[in-house]
Amino acid sequence: MVRQFNGVTDVAGNAASHVARYGACLGAIALAITANAAGANPPVSLAQAGFRNLSLNAGLNASGLNTVRLTAPHFTTPDGKIQCLATDSQLRCELDTARRSIRPLPRRPNDCAFRWGNGLTLGASTDAEVLCAEDSILRPAWRSAKLDFNRPWSHGPFFCRVRPAGLTCVNPDDKGFFLNTQRWRTIPPTP
């Protein structure tokens, strides 16, 4: 079964596989949805339900649940070619394979002793930079929320939207980047 949560797709099977795969996470989500659907006042957050780093905001009307927004700190683009991870101070997006680099790839700076150019980083108030890292945020697709085309995503100070042409992410200062497997650029463009 595939569940659609306002642009973020949760790929899951039956209840047993939910529990086996997602365990406490789904219990927290179910608790928060159940409490909020029953008119909990004030609404129950997922943190109160025992799950951190995930936000689920639900709106209700007379017919039941009508809006759900999921803001997980990790997401993948619909084609699975870019994955991003956010903290409160940094957004990091990487291309789907460790052997792939952004294009065009700038010259490696002398102070980068690790892998160069397999993604971009963006600070909460700083310009986007080419990634220099020895680790990776890439994970199996089933462990990452899929952000559908034209749907907004936000976490902390970051806002992203993926379109067929690629991924665009910005911080509150309107600094950010555009990224796809063929090209990238900073926002605003650097001279």
Domain-wise residue ranges, the chain: 2-70, 74-187
- With CA atoms as reference, report the closest residue to 23 among 51, 3, 43, 56: 51
pLDDT of 49 reads 37
pLDDT of 71 reads 52
- Would the CA dihedral through 160, 75, 13, 52 be positive or negative? negative
CB 120 within 8 A of CB 128: yes
- With CA atoms as reference, report the closest residue to 171 among 128, 119, 140: 128
pLDDT of 98 reads 57
pLDDT of 45 reads 43
pLDDT of 143 reads 85
Residues in the chain where the model's pLDDT stays below 70:
1-72, 98-99, 191
